A and B are shown apart, each in its own frame.
Chain A
Amino acid sequence: MKIFKLYLDKDLEEIWLNEMVSSGWALNNFFFGVYTFEKCKENEFIYKIDLMDSFSGTKSSLEYIKFVEETGAEFVSAWGRWVFFRKSASEGPFELYTDVDSQIKLYQKIRNMMGIVALLEFIIGFSQLHNLSQFNAGIGYYSLTGVVFLLGGGIGYAALKTHNKINSLRKQKVI
């Protein structure tokens, strides 16, 4: 089964993947918003999503995936810097980041990556607008630029939400 979905919040995405498991569907591949599921036993796995330091396929990303697999987790899919892991639910709880400091570091990585992507979208959007203003472009061209701005805005908002998550984690630390 394939489902197309756009998630800008990895925590919500994780919740959804684990809800799918509770109804007997296990993710086995992700590519550009397309989630491919296969049948599994209800509540068979726990899924976790992680952002790596480098792109999938690089030496350091392979090293990280191997490291996580050695701890008993299973590599499911990788796309860009994102990676999906799962573990049998029968083996108990599954967490990749178990202290506040490393959780903060992860969200900082996510926020910075999203910030850069949002900025790129806006740069592309404005340069498109500039190009379109040079000739009598139809509405179709402008709606394409609109999509770019919409994406940039969405990802920028997600970066802001991640920033707030970091702040609330920081507050937890200073009691």
Chain B
Amino acid sequence: MHKDLPLTEGVFYILIALRKPNHGYGIIQDVQLMTDGRLVLGAGTLYGAINTMLDKGWIKLYSEEVASRKKKEYIITSTGKEMVKFETERLEELIRNSKKIMEDRI
């Protein structure tokens, strides 16, 4: 298993939200929408996660137009996509095994 696994729920959803170029507030809204309002990322949590993922090369800066004061946009990298794949495989294993106990009960 990859040393960075498991991903935190926040990191996992931020990566998915960055399948297309997105800025901070856009990520928060997208994650909120995907989880039916269950997960609302705090700005501090998101900022820290973005910087960590930039360092790890899982996401990269997509645009930064200082003159127009446009918001910084980020996008997932191929390494980031790989992390999502690894995590999805891990989650699938979890679901596969958890289903065993559900079947037992019935």
- Seen from chain A, the residues whose Cβ lies within 8 Å of a Cβ on chain B are 50, 64, 67-68, 70-73, 93, 95-99, 101-102, 105-106
Contact = CB atoms under 8 A, between A and B. Distances in A.
A71 B49 contact: no
15 contacts: A64-B47, A67-B47, A68-B44, A68-B47, A70-B71, A71-B28, A71-B43, A93-B40, A96-B44, A96-B45, A99-B8, A102-B42, A102-B45, A102-B48, A106-B44
A110 B53 CA distance: 23
Interface of B: 8-10, 23-25, 28, 39-49, 71
B44 A101 contact: no
Contacts, number: 48
- Pick the 10 closest A-B CB pairs, nearest first: A96-B44, A98-B42, A102-B45, A68-B43, A71-B43, A96-B42, A95-B42, A97-B44, A98-B45, A71-B25
A99 B41 CA distance: 8
B25 A102 contact: no
Contacts of B44: 50, 68, 96-97, 102, 106
Contacts of A98: 10, 39-42, 45
A78 to B, nearest CB: 15
Contacts of B41: 98
A97 B25 contact: no
Contacts of B10: 98-99, 102
Nearest to B47: A67
B48 to A, nearest CB: 5
Contacts of B28: 71
A72 B42 CA distance: 11
